[in-house]
Amino acid sequence: MARNSAVGAGQAGTARELTGDPIDMVHLDQQSLGDPGLREEVLRLYSQMSGVYLSRIEQAQTAEDLLRHLHTLKSAAAGIGAWHVRDLAKYAEDALREGHPIDPHHIRAVGSAVAECQDFITGLIVDN
């Protein structure tokens, strides 16, 4: 449900819908200058970092901490073309900034999207 409410996917959302992949590989290849080694390193770093920040999001004790970690995860996801993670993190971040209470459904949705990206990355790296 949060995915449908997320705003701002634009063309990026279309790329995911066309390929079904949780990461826009065209965007990632542009970001990594077409270098397969750099692309793999970026994917490894994102997979590791997204796990760290998801844990921080889940353990946040204040709205300020939660906002900071959601924002970091959102930015990292945008960098690699993980549009679904970006949109869900943005949705949760925007809701908090508008004064809405922390919604555990938002956090679970972000966690599911991160896990989907991590599984996708594992498949890409193992397959190479």
DSSP string, 51-117: HHHHHHHHH--SHHHHHHHHHHHHHHHHHHT-HHHHHHHHHHHHHHHTTPPP-HHHHHHHHHHHHHH
Identify the CATH number of the domain in which residue 114 sits.
1.20.120.160
pLDDT tens digits, one per residue of 32-91: 999 999 999 999 999 999 999 999 999 999 999 999 999 999 999 999 999 999 999 999
**Can you give the residue range of the structural domain that contains 81?**
20-127
Q: Is residue 76 part of a domain?
A: yes
What pLDDT, on the 0 to 100 scale, is given for residue 127? Answer: 66
Prediction pTM value: 0.84
Q: How many domains does the chain have?
A: 1
Q: Is residue 39 part of a domain?
A: yes
